[in-house]
Amino acid sequence: MPFMLNVNRQTFEVDVPEGTPLLWVIRDELKLTGTKFGCGVASCGACTVHVDGEPTRSCVTYVEDVEGAGITTIEGVDSDVSHAVHRAWNELNVVQCGYCQSGQIMSAIGLLSGNRTPTIEEIEDYMWGNACRCAAYQRIRAAVRRASEILEA
Amino acid sequence: MTRQLTRRSFLKSASALSGTVLVIGLDAGNALASAGDAAEFTPFVRITAGGRVTAVVKHFECGQGTATGLATLIAEELNLALDRVEVEFAPADAATYGNFLFGGTQGTGGSSSMASSFMLYRRAGAAAREMLVGAAAEAWGVPADSVTLADGQLSADGHAAPMGEFVASASAREVPAKPRLKDASAFTVIGNPRTARRDNGPKTDGSAVYAMDLHLENQVVAVMLRSPRFGGTLVSFDDSAASDMPGFVRAAALPTRTAVVVYGENTWAALQARDAIGAEWDFSRADNRGSGQIKADLLAAVNGDAEFDAKGSAAETAELLDGAAQVIERDFFFPYLAHATMEPLTCTIAPTENGVMLHDGCQMPTGAQMAVAAVLQIPHENVEVTTLYAGGTFGRRSTQTADYHVEAALAFALAGGRRPVKLVWSREDDIRGGYYRPAVAHKVRIGLDEDGRIVGWDHRVSGTPIFKGGPMDAFIVQNGVDSSSVEGAHDTPYDIPGHHVGLTDDRSPITVNWWRSVGHSHTAYVMETMMDLAAAAAGRDPVDYRMEYLKGGTADHARMAGVLRLAAEKSGWNGPAAEGRSRGVAVHKSFGTFVAEVVEISGNADDGIVIEKVTCAVDCGVAVNPDVVKAQMEGGIGYGIGHAMRNEITFTDGEVDQFNFPDYEPLRISDIRAIETHVVPSTEPPTGVGEPGTPPSGPALANAIAVAGPRVTHLPISTNGVNFA
Ligand code: FES
Ligand code: FES
């Protein structure tokens, strides 16, 4: 079935069955592979994209439900918040294997876009669903704080 | 481009797409001298006429930071900023890129990358520097020792030029047999705590390519419907319900009868079709036990006589225990554990002119190459390997059967060998798919004299051996003892009198594998729990008591005591714990690295424990990238603590009970409030850091919990009435 999707400010027509998770449309059809497959059941956050600005697990979001929405993937982020997050992530050498990091960053951008000065508890609450099997959490937490600092400066 | 020259010479090349290129390979013979034989050469650094420097990295990058680490060695010897050195993964070529710590096969593991590369890559960088300096000196008519190379510039009195200008003439020069290495006191990149990882950029903007991200022209995706029990074989399958599903290509039984391969035009189609396919299995040779039985069997084994002795004698120790003033004893159980790498397993096999290309986050290139070649019945040199970023391994991407590479090769062959086949594992496949850290039981009896001193220590272990019967059996197994079952116990640095370690193998078709820190993942827990119990029985402070057994004056004792002292000092061990807090300590040596950790908790077992802080001290010799060392300690601690807290793979009638992250709950961001790592300054040769952070973390947590709560000896901790906040 054809669907019209707006991804990273571009319109794509994709022909996939109804019920196809947005994750697989993004990865296998659009070849935007920065968005990762980690669990498929909304429990790791590796597949996080923004749908109308809201961090969303694309593995349990179906293609028919996001027609007409503004979808942003890691490849398409470009804002003062995303720049601050990227800078903080680099300064603190957050990444290890890196596989979870697109999702971490998409969540962090979501958090800081709504709340530029989150407390540690707010960071932990918001980022809780983004698993990092390399356990880079200490730096993820610190990098969100650092990005907040950069934004406030 | 790889060219091989003879032993004791260096590889040089003066042609490449971008013009003149200097390629320096170190004489592998130097590094391999102790291993005996090294006929070939190893190109590790490439410099173009444009001054572009590339470190060709012989290990894969799974997050452990090796790519950054090896680039650091090249940068140091070339007097170049780290961010000017590009990184490229080496192709599969054991003769060129073998790991001498693995007997020359090419691969990553055992926290060996830096240990096996430190001199190799420094010499390669130093040789390049000397050749460039020599070429400039000759051109300028000045003595070589008046020429310096720094920041990519060659200079001497009255002369200066970018090093790229001398790449052509340098590559025509004799390669120095023994390039002069920089003195450690002159290091600016090695040991610099402020260097940036070389993979930060691509891993934060989504551009890093993992094997899961590959989409080759005309590829087909393969997923496997495997036996739900280990040791089961396929009787028949029915794919009629999948036949008209969009994107379903076909299904076929693997010739091994271990799975049905399901092909789809894309990942989702393949996964959906698999769900619609039914299969019948023969479980007559499967392990049909449940977890209760598995645990009972292992505990029975350690309560009986050991099959093999790894150290000492049971009879002598029994005598010492008979004469002891008191005996403390505990049994321990450790469950099967999945690695659960963030990127599920995957690889792609594509046809080439004379064979295939394996695209993989490849941990053991030569092993994978051999396995794929054997399945396809082609010469192994016709299997090329492209190594991509790996989304974690913790040991899983390397198995002695090359399990997922073999699956991919079978799927490729069954598909006709003309289309690229991308094998994809789902998270469920990963959690339920075996190659686990084996379930293990221990039983320890320690005899103490009137003063609380150890007089004898009887230690029995039972679990499925990892190496026995596999290709490395001859290297690892001695007198029946698979050292991966007892490492960290039978070779503990502690001076333990009357020490006996016995081992009884458990046989099960449940597949097992090395899992971050291998045997140390359970032995450290046992050693450090028993040390705490002995200290308590002796009425001694846990740190002081351990120090008593580290007084032999050996380097091991000094380094183990050193990290213990440092962790104690930095955690405030010698002062009282804050109100409502408890602390636990553990120290362990693994892979040549010494790590001590102090875990501080608040709360209680009923209402929920909070892990407030982990203070870590590590001695890994020279810390090439101190920040990478810290990151690996943080990661290793999180990995150890997360699994110790709440992870287990359990079975009902031979079937794994867990499916995905909701029932194999990963460590989360709120689980550990803070980790502080202190790196011991050292001039010793560097040892690994990927694994050694893990072993002490579980027992340090358990020791903290035991201060005011239960003493947990059957893991995970959460199954003992201990809640975490
Ligand atoms: S892949 Fe979507 S949350 Fe894990
Ligand atoms: S960096 Fe590896 S999973 Fe997060």
Is the pLDDT at B341 greater than 90? The verdict is yes
For residue B340, report the distance from its CA to the centre of ligand 1, in Å.
14
Distance, CA of B329 to CA of B302 (rounded, Å): 12
> With pLDDT > 90 as the criterion, what percentage of chain B qualifies?
84
Distance, CA of B170 to CA of B164 (rounded, Å): 10
Q: Which of B199, B459, B206, B429 is nearest to B312 (CA)?
A: B459
| pLDDT at residue number B23 | 61
- Which of B304-328 are b and which e, b meaning 16 or more Cβ less than 10 Å from the residue's Cβ? eebebbbbbeeeebeebbeebeeeb
| pLDDT at residue number B451 | 97
Band the pLDDT of A131: cuts 50, 70, 90.
Answer: very high
| pLDDT at residue number B14 | 29
**Quick one: average pLDDT of B62-85?**
94
Number of domains within chain B: 3
Distance, CA of B586 to CA of B492 (rounded, Å): 13
For the CA of B342, the nearest atom of ligand 2: 3
Task: Give B264's strand partners.
Answer: B221, B248
What would the pLDDT profile of B614-651 be if each residue is shown by its tens digit? Answer: 999 999 999 999 999 999 999 999 999 999 999 999 99
Among A2-6, B142-146, B166-170, B265-269, the minimum mean pLDDT is found in B166-170
Distance, CA of B451 to CA of B454 (rounded, Å): 9
The residue among A55, A74, A93 that closes a domain is: A74
Q: Helix, strand, or coil here: B604? A: strand
**Quick one: average pLDDT of B23-38?**
32
Distance, CA of B555 to CA of B489 (rounded, Å): 19
| pLDDT at residue number B22 | 60
Contacts of B153 (CB under 8 A, 6+ apart): B160, B161, B162, B163
What does the DSSP assignment read for B162-180?
A: EGGGGHHHHHTSPPPSSPP
**Quick one: average pLDDT of B53-81?**
92
**Quick one: average pLDDT of A107-126?**
98
- Whether the complex's predicted ipTM is more than 0.95 is answered with yes
Q: In CATH, what number is assigned to the domain containing residue A140?
A: 1.10.150.120
| pLDDT at residue number B3 | 30
Domain hosting residue A7, numbered range:
2-74
Q: In CATH, what number is assigned to the domain containing residue B329?
A: 3.30.365.10
CB A67 within 8 A of CB A1: no
The closest residue, in CA terms, to atom 4 on ligand 2 is: A132
Among A16-25, B28-37, B552-561, the minimum mean pLDDT is found in B28-37
**Quick one: average pLDDT of B246-270?**
97
- Same structural domain for residues A85 and A101? yes
CB B138 within 8 A of CB B169: yes
Distance, CA of B493 to CA of B496 (rounded, Å): 9
Q: For ligand 1, is residue A133 a contact (CB within 6 Å)?
A: no
Q: For ligand 1, is residue A81 a contact (CB within 6 Å)?
A: no
Average pLDDT of the residues of chain A: 98
Residue where the block lists tokens 């012989």:
B58
Q: Is residue B584 part of a domain?
A: yes
- Same structural domain for residues B327 and B350? no
Q: In CATH, what number is assigned to the domain containing residue A51?
A: 3.10.20.30
**Quick one: average pLDDT of B359-378?**
94
- Same structural domain for residues B416 and B509? no
Contact across the interface for B427 and A38, Cβ inside 8 Å = yes
Contact across the interface for A96 and B637, Cβ inside 8 Å = no
Q: Which of B88, B62, B655 is nearest to B398 (CA)?
A: B62
Q: Which of B46, B31, B2, B34 is nearest to B98 (CA)?
A: B31
Q: Is residue B431 part of a domain?
A: no
| pLDDT at residue number B1 | 28
| pLDDT at residue number B106 | 86
| pLDDT at residue number B21 | 57
The residue among A50, A74, A98 that closes a domain is: A74
- Same structural domain for residues B200 and B216? no
For the CA of A40, the nearest atom of ligand 1: 1
Q: Is residue B157 part of a domain?
A: yes
**Quick one: average pLDDT of B697-720?**
98
Which carries the bigger pLDDT value, residue B237 or residue B88?
Answer: B237
Is the pLDDT at A82 greater than 60? The verdict is yes
> Is residue B527 classed exposed, middle or buried when 0-12, 13-18 and 19+ CB atoms within 10 A define those classes?
buried
CB A149 within 8 A of CB B688: no
Most B CBs within 10 Å, among A93, A109, A120, A141, to test the B interface: A93
- Same structural domain for residues B218 and B194? no
> With pLDDT > 70 as the criterion, what percentage of chain A qualifies?
100
- Same structural domain for residues A25 and A60? yes
Of B197, B207, B267, the CB nearest to A24: B267
For residue A126, report the distance from its CA to the centre of ligand 2, in Å.
17
- Same structural domain for residues A70 and A94? no
Average pLDDT of the residues of chain B: 92
- Same structural domain for residues A86 and A117? yes
CB B390 within 8 A of CB A133: no
Distance, CA of B699 to CA of B529 (rounded, Å): 6
CB B302 within 8 A of CB B504: yes
What would the pLDDT profile of B546-579 be if each residue is shown by its tens digit? Answer: 999 999 999 999 999 999 999 999 999 999 999 9
Is the pLDDT at B310 greater than 50? The verdict is yes
The residue among B378, B398, B424 that closes a domain is: B424
| pLDDT at residue number B176 | 86
Scanning B540-599 for CB atoms below 8 A from A yields: none
Is the pLDDT at A85 greater than 90? The verdict is yes
Is the pLDDT at B8 greater than 80? The verdict is no
Residue of B nearest to A100 (CA): B342
Is the pLDDT at B613 greater than 60? The verdict is yes
> With pLDDT > 70 as the criterion, what percentage of chain B qualifies?
94
CB B371 within 8 A of CB B405: yes
- Same structural domain for residues B331 and B275? no
- Same structural domain for residues A142 and A87? yes
| pLDDT at residue number B96 | 78
- Same structural domain for residues A86 and A146? yes
Task: Give B360's strand partners.
Answer: B347, B387
CB B153 within 8 A of CB B162: yes
Q: Which of B47, B428, B74, B45 is nearest to B224 (CA)?
A: B428
A88/chain B closest Cα distance in angstroms: 11
Query: What DSSP designation does B209 have?
Result: P
Q: For ligand 1, is residue A53 a contact (CB within 6 Å)?
A: no
- Same structural domain for residues B468 and B608? yes
| pLDDT at residue number B4 | 32
The alpha carbon of B160 is separated from its chain's Cα centroid by a whole number of angstroms, namely: 45
- Same structural domain for residues A8 and A57? yes
Interchain contact B672–A (C-beta under 8 A): yes
Contacts with A27 from chain B: Cβ below 8 Å: 213, 267
Is the pLDDT at B250 greater than 80? The verdict is yes
What would the pLDDT profile of B493-521 be if each residue is shown by its tens digit? Answer: 999 999 999 999 999 999 999 999 999 99
Model pTM score: 0.94
Contacts with A99 from chain B: Cβ below 8 Å: 210, 341-343, 391-392
- Same structural domain for residues A89 and A68? no
The residue among B424, B455, B485 that closes a domain is: B424
Q: Is residue B2 part of a domain?
A: no
Is the pLDDT at A24 greater than 70? The verdict is yes
- Same structural domain for residues A10 and A40? yes
Is the pLDDT at B32 greater than 60? The verdict is no
Number of domains within chain A: 2
Domain hosting residue B473, numbered range:
291-336+436-720
Q: For ligand 1, is residue A37 a contact (CB within 6 Å)?
A: yes
Distance, CA of B528 to CA of B515 (rounded, Å): 19
What would the pLDDT profile of B122-141 be if each residue is shown by its tens digit? Answer: 999 999 999 999 999 999 99
| pLDDT at residue number B244 | 95
Contact across the interface for A38 and B209, Cβ inside 8 Å = no
Among B60-74, B221-235, B703-717, the minimum mean pLDDT is found in B60-74
| pLDDT at residue number A106 | 98
**Quick one: average pLDDT of B670-696?**
97
CB A135 within 8 A of CB B635: yes
What would the pLDDT profile of B410-456 be if each residue is shown by its tens digit? Answer: 999 999 999 999 999 999 999 999 999 999 999 999 999 999 999 99
Using N-to-C axis directions, what is the helix angle for B113-140 and B66-77, rounded to 10°? Answer: 30
